[in-house]
Amino acid sequence: MLRRLLTLTERFTTADTALAHCDLMCGVYDPAQARIEAESVHKIAQKYQDSDDPVFRDRAILIKEERAELVKHHLSVLWTDYFKPPHVEEFPHLHDLFWRAIKQAGDAKKTMDPAAGEKLLSMIDEIDEIFQKTKQS
């Protein structure tokens, strides 16, 4: 256990671990970017259900499509730019969590059921929790 912690520490202190959300090394990451778009995905589906205006409903479909695409993008950036090998070692389900969350963003495109957006939001919360833990360490 101690050995594992040492290995982790060691890896974190190597010069080359920092990447960034802009692929430079700006070091600025925030799951809020994905969450804000996911909240929009969720709300759009709700508004769609409450409306019977065909133009509004059409626009809801196309705008939700774009917002969900942004969720995918922001999650993908977090996954491959922020998280490093030691994180994956510490949180072995990280890959699977991101995979299912990005898939869920795709599923939220396919339906106007607000439940899809809700499920997406709870997955982003799960990711955020891990993110906060890695920030503290």
- Rule CB under 8 A: say whether 115 interacts with a second copy: no
Question: Does residue 127 contact residue 31 with C-beta atoms inside 8 Å?
Answer: yes
Q: Is 123 in the site for a second copy (CB under 8 A)?
A: no
Query: What are the φ and ψ backbone dihedral angles of 2, each rounded to 5 degrees?
Result: -60, -40
3-class secondary structure per residue, 21-65? CCCCCCCCCCCHHHHHHHHHHHHHHHHHHHCCCHHHHHHHHHHHH
Of 10, 66, 125, 129, the residue at the interface with a second copy (CB under 8 A) is 66
Residues of this chain, 34-53, that bind a second copy according to CB under 8 A: 36, 39-40, 43-44, 47
Binding-site ranges for a second copy (CB under 8 A): 19-28, 30, 32-33, 36, 39-40, 43-44, 47, 55-56, 58-63, 65-69, 72, 76, 79-81, 88, 95-96, 99, 102-103, 106, 109-112
